[in-house]
Amino acid sequence: MELSIGSLVRFGWETFKSRPWIFVGTTALLGLLLGISGTVSSGLDALFSGSAEEPSLPGTVFGWATSTLISMGATAFYLAAHDNTQTAEVSMLWHPQKFWSFLGASLLVSLAVLVGMILLIVPGVIFALMFMFATMIIIDRGLGPIEAMRESRRITSGYRWKLLGLAVVLMLLNLAGLLALVVGLLVTVPVTVLAFTRAYRELSARPGVPAATPVIADARI
């Protein structure tokens, strides 16, 4: 199977154009939630450590918990929007199922990448590409963190150079959005996340990959 970067980005753009305001609104809301999370976390740090610049246990725990929930909701929303754009709803951003698995996978992947970066950088890049879909697999298929990492490694096998190229292209698109008075991110973030989600769906559709659990149904539990 050929994974075309151009076709992935085109899919992201065409899907965005089909319902632009739901994507712009959702991106703005996610940014607002992240901003509130950071502000509260800094306030807790200031309260418990005496300085907003000095991390505290309550501030760190709050930051981890809220950023994980925000990431889970964004992942669930974009999976649902990819599969059926017309039924995507802002309410899908609340998707707390598999919280501990998602958090565990995030920490394990971050640790693997960090260790890899210490080992002359290249292993860190390889680990980042190998496990790039782990958290998405947890939301999509309900696997545990280790199983999701193994599955991400499996579906990315043979495509990591292409995925590296995709990551670079998506990063450049978001950089362009940032330079466009930041407001451009309201367009480039949805387009790039949709392209990333499309890459996951295409790789998951290969023979031997189990069918996905419908995210739309899960989001309403």
141: tokens are: 């298929």
181: tokens are: 């008075």
Contact assessment for residue 16 and residue 191, using Cβ atoms and an 8 Å cutoff? yes
Taking alpha carbons only, the member of 62, 61, 67, 57 closest to residue 34 is 67
What pLDDT, on a 0 to 100 scale, did the predictor assign at position 146? 96
What pTM was estimated for this model as a whole? 0.89
Spatial CB neighbours of 43, under 8 Å, sequence gap ≥ 6:
52, 59
What pLDDT, on a 0 to 100 scale, did the predictor assign at position 220? 31
Long-range contacts of 201-210 (CB under 8 A, 24+ apart): 201/82, 201/83, 202/1, 202/3, 202/8, 203/1, 203/3, 203/133, 203/155, 203/156, 203/159, 204/140, 204/155, 206/1, 206/155, 209/155, 210/141
Q: What angle do CA 186, 192, 195 make, to 5 degrees?
A: 140
State how far the Cα of 215 lies from the Cα of 70, in Å rounded to an integer.
Answer: 16
CA atoms within 13 A on the CB side of 220: 7
98: tokens are: 């598999």
Count of structural domains within the chain: 1
What pLDDT, on a 0 to 100 scale, did the predictor assign at position 210? 53
Q: In tens digits, what is the pLDDT along the chain, a chain of 221 residues? A: 678 999 999 999 999 999 999 999 999 999 999 999 999 999 999 999 888 888 899 999 999 999 999 999 999 999 999 999 999 999 999 999 999 999 999 999 999 999 998 887 888 899 999 999 999 999 999 999 999 999 999 999 999 999 999 999 999 999 999 998 788 999 999 999 999 999 999 999 876 555 555 444 433 32
* Residue range(s) defining the domain that contains residue 151: 5-219
